[in-house]
């Protein structure tokens, strides 16, 4: 059953992401990180399949009429029984020890066949009508594989507008005041003080809370840092040069007078980090004219930053438009910044990208 203030959607999304992150951590520590080739050449891990199965299972139990846009399909598991059995064991064994929370998610899946069917429920084409969830079971797969930053991402869009967003970042510090550094979360050691859930509901602000293994921890409000001088900014960008033009970002930073080195992180952990003021700017600049972003890579982070008082647009200054199917068809690049400086950043982004197009 849906709720008008999205309180149930938020609770289920938080619990579903928390449970899925337990599975991803289990995969990492068991070293069962087999990767498959996919048509877009990004590595896929058994954690991707398992996390997607757990999240869709929770959504189907609570909101059976909703559509789901997700990254993975079960074809590889149907063709590879060894891989299927590995994923099924992880899914079967991953439970929240808090009985009420586990029950709220619909309990465990009954069989491996049901798991395969559930994974394939993420085949919605997206669009501008109705309730559609977007899932990225492991965003930042390469970060995950090397023990760096990754995120389990879930967002609800209603008629193309993001209403609820949740990010589970197991390797980020819990503390909202810990500044970003280049090596943040480089080693997934499960020490105390790591693992944070970010969330937002449209019109209700953004929050962070420590990740737990059972019932949800208490959340607290988060806000973008009050930045009056853009030259003082810390900016985040992708680790992968294939995802964002690092040369353009360096030029933009130079023109803005930013002297601090960029912090390169995988995944939507960048959105969470700037939303709580640990960093200030997130630049994801087009690497080629035909590159189109996937909605699951941005939906949750976009809402969390905007609800924390930030501004998120494309490189032209237009809001990200999630109503055109499974991709951000109408947008190129992503610029997230505090409202106070976003206009200035866009000005310089246009200048740098515009000068390239004239060459």
The per-residue pLDDT for range 221-259, each reduced to its tens digit, is 999 999 989 999 998 888 876 666 778 889 999 999 999
Better-predicted residue by pLDDT, 186 or 227: 227
Answer whether residue 291 shows pLDDT above 60: yes
CA–CA separation, 211 vs 308, rounded Å? 19
Confidence of residue 35 (pLDDT cuts 50, 70, 90): low
Answer whether residue 193 shows pLDDT above 90: no
- DSSP designation for 232: G
Answer whether residue 207 shows pLDDT above 60: yes
pTM of the model: 0.94
Look up residue 332 and give its two tokens: 């190129």
Answer whether residue 41 shows pLDDT above 60: no
Tell me the binding residues for Mg(2+): 71, 136, 138-139, 297
CA–CA separation, 199 vs 153, rounded Å? 10
291: Cβ contacts below 8 Å, ≥ 6 apart? 332
Contact 141, 79 (CB under 8 A): no
Look up residue 8 and give its two tokens: 């149930």
pLDDT in tens, 111-134: 999 999 999 999 999 999 999 999
Of all residues in the chain, the percent with pLDDT exceeding 90 is: 72
What domains, with CATH codes, occur in the chain? 7-221 (3.30.540.10), 230-357 (3.40.190.80)
Q: Given this model, what pLDDT does residue 288 score?
A: 82
Burial (CB count within 10 angstroms: exposed 0-12, middle 13-18, buried 19+), residue 75: exposed
Average confidence (pLDDT) over 307-324:
97
Q: Given this model, what pLDDT does residue 176 score?
A: 87
CA–CA separation, 323 vs 330, rounded Å? 9
pLDDT in tens, 123-174: 999 999 999 999 999 999 888 888 889 999 999 999 999 999 999 999 999 9
Average confidence (pLDDT) over 296-317:
97
Q: Which residues are catalytic?
A: 48, 141
pLDDT in tens, 69-97: 998 999 989 998 988 998 999 999 999 99
Average confidence (pLDDT) over 172-185:
79
Q: Given this model, what pLDDT does residue 286 score?
A: 83
Q: Given this model, what pLDDT does residue 243 score?
A: 62
Answer whether residue 354 shows pLDDT above 90: no
Instruction: Tell which residue, 335, 324, 337, 331, has the closest CA to residue 134.
Output: 324
Q: What is the mean pLDDT of the chain?
A: 90
Q: Given this model, what pLDDT does residue 359 score?
A: 44
């Amino acid at each position: 059953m849906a709720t008008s203030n999205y309180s149930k959607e938020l609770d289920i999304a938080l619990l579903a992401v928390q449970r899925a992150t337990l599975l991803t951590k289990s995969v990492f520590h068991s070293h069962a990180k087999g990767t498959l080739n996919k048509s877009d050449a990004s590595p896929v891990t058994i954690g991707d399949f398992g996390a997607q199965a757990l999240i869709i299972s929770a959504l189907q139990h609570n909101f059976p009429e909703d559509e789901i846009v997700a990254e993975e399909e079960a074809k590889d598991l149907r063709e590879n029984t060894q891989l299927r059995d590995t994923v099924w064991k992880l899914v079967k064994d991953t439970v929240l020890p808090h009985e009420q929370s586990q029950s709220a998610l619909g309990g465990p899946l009954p069989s491996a066949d049901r798991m395969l069917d559930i994974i394939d429920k993420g085949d919605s084409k997206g669009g501008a009508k109705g309730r559609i969830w977007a899932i990225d079971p492991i965003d930042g797969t390469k970060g995950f594989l090397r023990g760096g930053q990754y995120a389990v991402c879930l967002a609800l869009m209603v008629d193309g507008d993001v209403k609820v967003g949740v990010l589970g970042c197991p390797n980020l510090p819990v503390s909202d005041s810990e500044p970003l550094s280049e090596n943040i979360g480089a080693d997934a050691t499960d020490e105390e003080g790591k693992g944070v859930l970010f969330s937002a509901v449209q019109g209700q602000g953004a929050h962070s809370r420590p990740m737990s293994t059972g019932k949800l921890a208490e959340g607290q409000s988060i806000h973008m840092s009050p930045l009056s001088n853009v030259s003082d900014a810390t900016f985040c960008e992708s680790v992968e040069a294939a995802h964002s033009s690092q040369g353009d970002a360096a030029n933009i930073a130079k023109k803005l007078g930013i002297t601090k080195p960029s912090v390169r992180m995988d995944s939507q952990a960048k959105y969470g980090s700037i939303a709580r003021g640990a960093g200030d700017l997130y630049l994801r600049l087009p690497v080629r004219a035909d590159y189109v972003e996937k909605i699951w890579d941005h939906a949750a982070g976009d809402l969390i930053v905007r609800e924390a008082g930030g501004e998120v647009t494309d490189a032209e200054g237009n809001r990200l438009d999630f109503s055109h199917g499974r991709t951000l068809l109408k947008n190129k690049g992503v610029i997230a910044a505090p409202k106070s400086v976003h206009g200035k950043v866009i000005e310089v982004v246009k200048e740098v990208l515009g000068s390239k197009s004239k060459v």
